[in-house]
Amino acid sequence: MYGQIVRDGLVNVTGIEDLGLTSPVLQRTSDAFFKEISPFLLHFGMFVPTIIGQCTPEQQAKWLPLAMDLKIIGTYAQTELGHGTFIRGLETTATYDASTEQFILKTPKLSSYKWWAGGLGKTANHCIVLAQLYTKGVCHGPHPFIVQIRDTETHMPLPGIKVGEIGPKLGFNTADNGFLGFEDFRIPRENLMMKNAQVTKDGTYVKVARHGKLTYGTMVFVRVMLVSDMAYCLAKAVTIAVRYSAVRRQSQPKPDQPEPQVLDYLTQQHKLFICISTAHAMKLTSTWLWNTFTGVLADMRDGNTDTLPELHALSSCLKAISTSDTSALIEQCRFACGGHGYMYSSNLPALYSFATATRTYEGDYTVLLLQTARFLVKSWEQMDEGKPLTPTLAYLEQSRNGSQVSWDDSPEGIVRGFDAVAAGRIGACVKSIRKHINNGMDYEDAWQMTTVQLVGAAEAHCRAVICRVYRDETARLTAGCSPGVKAVLDQLSTLYLLYWALERTGDLLRFSSLSERDIENLQARYEALLLKIRPNAVGLVDAFDFRDEVLMSTLGSYDGRVYERLMEEALKTPLNREPVSDSFHKYIKPMMQGKL
């Protein structure tokens, strides 16, 4: 199994390399080899980006060619058995020894062991290790080190290294996630990645970066990438589910009529068409977020970190919401395919297990939304002090006078409605925190007592951002399209707004003049729109243009031969190699004969 995985991974990687393509393409082509993830994903997805983002030019000149030519294979080992979210609580230490100009790495107890790094179990021979940096008796917090853990000739763990595979998981089972412990393991001083902080030969700590969290830069990059990846995953899942729903015929709503395609049921359209819209919404939002990210990187290259807090807040909530929505909607695609959606050969289980993992890694959902909430509350307080708001929070101004937004069910009106909900929920959080403080709580406790509301406010902010970006980008990108294409894409973006307006009627009743009659109108418009989209549903998923080799699905293949493919896959299962399993003779027959 592992051998096949590595072989496929190398065919994929070297094939891309031969074509001179870059690692984002690796993502896409690896899907033709793996239903889940390549064992080399962490190498290209985190090890290489960290060398680029955390090393000096001299260090990059040493390590980058080796990594890009696969002369070394790396991963990213930050999380430990005892800590993942709380990076400042990481226990692995790197203590500088000036007499030898080395760092001594230690995992002082079991909970300090690195745990989870993809590819660490059996594939990688190097890794980025986040460790608490000690020099001259002072701890300077978590810093990144590049560490060789295996002999590049024999692949044996180096002396002082304890490394292995963590065992089966819900998914990601082609990623050999591993554990790693250090017993007084020494590395050269130069293996501290020194772009943002340095230690001189005599052990003096020199802070380079003006912003204390640039060490966390790789995580921001990956979170930005994951939004795009979720769009891609969801597009695959809804392609499978819509094509299957066009093939599947079931039940007889009208006597003497043939069984209809299940795609003709309004409830099936309700399950699936939001998935098509959401894939588009997240793809357009991810491109917008990527452009924001590259803009902030450019600012930081000019020494300006002022735009980093907004990027952290955006990447945090968009990663949280895109992964949460995708997990839920891929499961909804699985539900829409009945029993066959539960078959591994449908590829929906693998897509789900991949997406649901992404809701956790690279920052847990709740934790990241609270990061965004921290930025929202700070922005509200700055608005109260008359300071300017960042672009994505401009809508807070409308809440300054506290007047209720009048409901307008046009697409732009609905977008403004979501702005009002976000502003209202943030304001409610600020009010709650201030109430608790007035009742004698300190700020930290007042914050903790408001965290349920804060998570909701961050989600509302994120939903408002997605709605606005999706609406604006659709208008911009369809300006030059044919009327037919424009009409269909407008239907999808309007469906997204109507769907979420109906999902958030409570908030809209609270923070706008939405009435019960307005809700009835929304529901009627939504249902009518489902019927309008139905004729184009298969065409819309075909437009995602997934080859069968990438979709890897018995239900979603282009030719629609679902039952033949299900049977073909069934007959391949090892249990069907012999008509009678030897377990019959060993166990079942003796049991039947009372001999067990």
Ligand X SMILES: Cc1cc2nc3c(=O)[nH]c(=O)nc-3n(C[C@H](O)[C@H](O)[C@H](O)COP(=O)(O)OP(=O)(O)OC[C@H]3O[C@@H](n4cnc5c(N)ncnc54)[C@H](O)[C@@H]3O)c2cc1C
Ligand Y SMILES: CC/C=C\C/C=C\C/C=C\C/C=C\CC/C=C/C(=O)SCCNC(=O)CCNC(=O)[C@H](O)C(C)(C)COP(=O)(O)OP(=O)(O)OC[C@H]1O[C@@H](n2cnc3c(N)ncnc32)[C@H](O)[C@@H]1OP(=O)(O)O
Residues noted as catalytic: 362
Candidates 3-11, 41-49, 427-435, 496-504; binding stretch for ligand Y (CB under 6 A): 41-49
Q: How far apart are CA 181 and CA 179, in angstroms?
A: 7
The verdict on 92 binding ligand X (CB under 6 A) reads no
CA distances from 548 to 23, 26, 27, 331, 560 (A): 22, 17, 16, 21, 11
Q: For residue 187, what are the contacts with CB-CB under 8 A and spacing of at least 6?
A: 94, 102, 103, 105, 145, 147, 148
Q: Which of 374, 486, 510, 534 binds ligand Y (CB under 6 A)?
A: 374
Least Å from the CB of residue 81 to ligand Y: 14
440 neighbors 402 (Cβ within 8 angstroms): no
Q: How far apart are CA 39 and CA 34, in angstroms?
A: 10
Tokens 């003779």 locate to 585
43 neighbors 74 (Cβ within 8 angstroms): yes
CB atoms within 10 A of CB 591: 11
Q: Which of 366, 382, 453, 505 binds ligand X (CB under 6 A)?
A: 366
Q: Site map for ligand Y, 185-224, x if CB under 6 A?
A: ----------------------------x--x--xx-x--
Q: Site map for ligand X, 115-134, x if CB under 6 A?
A: -xxx----------------
Could you tell me if residue 552 is left (phi over 0), alpha (psi between -120 and 50 degrees) or otherwise beta? left
The verdict on 546 binding ligand Y (CB under 6 A) reads no
Q: Which of 22, 85, 304, 573 binds ligand X (CB under 6 A)?
A: 85
* Count of residues in the chain: 596
**Segments in 248-265 forming alpha helices (H):** none
The verdict on 367 binding ligand Y (CB under 6 A) reads yes
Q: Site map for ligand Y, 258-297, x if CB under 6 A?
A: ----------------------------------------
Least Å from the CB of residue 92 to ligand X: 11
The verdict on 49 binding ligand X (CB under 6 A) reads no
Residue among 310, 309, 315, 169 at smallest CA distance from 230:
315
The verdict on 493 binding ligand X (CB under 6 A) reads no
Q: Which does 231 bind (CB under 5 to 8 A by kind): ligand Y, ligand X, none?
A: none
Candidates 112-120, 468-476, 519-527, 559-567; binding stretch for ligand X (CB under 6 A): 112-120
CB atoms within 10 A of CB 479: 8
Least Å from the CB of residue 141 to ligand Y: 9
Q: For residue 463, what are the contacts with CB-CB under 8 A and spacing of at least 6?
A: 321, 418, 421, 422, 500, 504
Q: How far apart are CA 383 and CA 433, in angstroms?
A: 16
Q: Binding residues for ligand X, how many (CB under 6 A)? A: 21
The verdict on 52 binding ligand Y (CB under 6 A) reads no
The verdict on 166 binding ligand X (CB under 6 A) reads no
Report which residue type is found at 220. V
Gap between the terminal Cα atoms of the chain: 34
The verdict on 449 binding ligand X (CB under 6 A) reads no
The verdict on 349 binding ligand X (CB under 6 A) reads no
Identity of the residue, 103 or 116, whose beta carbon is nearer to ligand Y in the bound complex? 116
Q: In 435-594, which ranges are E strands?
A: none
Identity of the residue, 98 or 166, whose beta carbon is nearer to ligand Y in the bound complex? 166
Radius of gyration of the chain (CA): 27
Q: Binding residues for ligand Y, how many (CB under 6 A)? A: 32
Q: Which does 366 bind (CB under 5 to 8 A by kind): ligand Y, ligand X, none?
A: ligand X
User: Under rule CB under 6 A, which residues in 106-145 are in contact with ligand Y?
Assistant: 118
Q: For residue 29, what are the contacts with CB-CB under 8 A and spacing of at least 6?
A: 12, 15, 16
Q: Tell me, what DSSP letter sits at residue 588? A: I
Q: How far apart are CA 21 and CA 42, in angstroms?
A: 17
Q: Which of 226, 355, 454, 489 binds ligand Y (CB under 6 A)?
A: 226
Q: Which does 225 bind (CB under 5 to 8 A by kind): ligand X, ligand Y, none?
A: ligand Y
Q: Which does 77 bind (CB under 5 to 8 A by kind): ligand Y, ligand X, none?
A: ligand X
556 neighbors 346 (Cβ within 8 angstroms): yes
**Footprint of ligand Y (CB under 6 A):** 27, 37, 41-42, 45-46, 76, 78-79, 84-88, 118, 213, 216, 219-220, 222, 225-226, 229, 308-309, 312, 361-363, 367, 371, 374
**Footprint of ligand X (CB under 6 A):** 42, 76-79, 83-85, 116-118, 172, 177, 357, 360-361, 363-364, 366-367, 370
